[in-house]
C-alpha cells in the first residue's frame, strides 16, 4: 500500500543521507591516513 511521505519520513531521509555522507567522509580520511602511514612505514624500512 502506497502512502505519501510525511514530514518526519522526509526528515529521516535527510538525516540518513547526512549520516551516510559523514560516514563516507570519515572512511575517506581513514584511507588517506592509512596510506600515509604505509608510506612512512615503507620509508623507515628502506633506511634500515
Residue 11 belongs to some domain of the structure: yes
Question: Distance (Å, rounded) from C-alpha 44 to C-alpha 36?
Answer: 12
11-to-8, 14, 18, 33 alpha-carbon distances in Å: 5, 5, 11, 33
Residue 2 within a domain: no
Instruction: Output the pLDDT for position 4.
Output: 64
Domain assignment of residue 25, yes or no: yes
Length of the chain counted residue by residue: 48
Map residue 4 onto helix, strand or coil.
coil
Which residues, including other chains, have CB under 8 Å from residue 13's CB and lie 6 or more apart? 5
* Res. 8: pLDDT tops 80: yes
Query: Is 20 among the domain residues?
Result: yes
pLDDT tens sequence across 15-28: 999 999 999 999 99
Q: Is residue 44 part of a domain?
A: yes
What domain range is 11 assigned to?
Answer: 7-48
How many domains are contained in the chain?
A: 1
Amino acid at each position: 500500500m502506497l502512502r505519501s511521505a510525511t514530514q518526519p519520513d522526509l526528515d529521516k531521509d535527510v538525516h540518513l543521507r547526512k549520516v551516510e555522507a559523514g560516514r563516507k567522509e570519515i572512511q575517506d580520511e581513514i584511507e588517506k591516513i592509512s596510506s600515509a602511514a604505509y608510506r612512512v612505514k615503507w620509508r623507515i624500512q628502506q633506511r634500515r
